[in-house]
Amino acid sequence: MINFRAFKYIHYSLLIVTVLLVLIGVVSIYSAAYQITLETNAQVHYAMKQLAWACIGIFIFFVIIFYGYDGIYKLSYPLFLGNILLLVLVLVLGSVRHGSQRWLQFGGVLIQPSEFAKLTFVLALARYVSKNLMQNRSFMFVLKPLLLTFIPVILILQQPDLGTSLVFFPVFLSVIFVAGVNIRYLIKMSLV
């Protein structure tokens, strides 16, 4: 459910600082690209591209605020599954750059689903842990999210992208540790 009363909870000083930093970034990109692209006038293209992504980010910021915690909680599994489908789509239809098939191209825009997988994985893992916190004494409490971790890792390793895939295990261990899982389970898993 959309919560329009969320406007009174926005930290406007933080929003203003964020917008200022984005604008400084756009100006920096414009000036950095100026000498390189003087003949083609492409510095405007780079600055506008940065500004477009910044606008998308600010839009997502407001969507998250209006949706609230409960909305994000409910969307965590569908977002994770959607991202898994994007990772599979990369393997089938992905754009190859520098010997890796990591990107999906929509028109002139390239996206890298493995970057979104980090966020959707954290959301799905947090939902699982919060929903099953009372079972955190069992080994199955640890095994199920471990299997959840392997899905994006295996798909990302197929691209190949070792660096991104290695991010998932420390995140998994951190969330499980903060959930209060017995340290013996974590030691057993790390030995396997």
Mean pLDDT for the stretch of residues 172-189: 78
Q: Sorting pLDDT into bands at 50, 70 and 90, what band is 125?
A: very high
Range of weakest confidence among 3-17, 28-42, 133-147, 175-189:
28-42
Mean pLDDT for the stretch of residues 129-133: 83
Three-state SS letters, 133-155: HHHCCCHHHHHHHHHHHHHHHHH
Inform me whether the pLDDT recorded for 15 exceeds 90.
Answer: no
- For residue 41, is it left (φ>0), alpha (ψ between -120 and 50) or beta? left
Contact 70, 137 (CB under 8 A): no
| Three-class secondary structure of residue 12 per DSSP | helix
Range of weakest confidence among 11-15, 20-24, 128-132:
11-15
- pLDDT value for 153: 93
Q: pLDDT tens for residues 65-88?
A: 777 778 888 888 999 999 999 999
The residue ranking higher by pLDDT, 122 or 32, is: 122
108 vs 92: CA distance, rounded Å:
19
Q: pLDDT tens for residues 76-119?
A: 899 999 999 999 998 888 777 777 777 787 777 778 888 889 99
**What share of the chain in percent tops pLDDT 70?**
86
Element (H, E) at 41: none
Mean pLDDT for the stretch of residues 159-178: 86
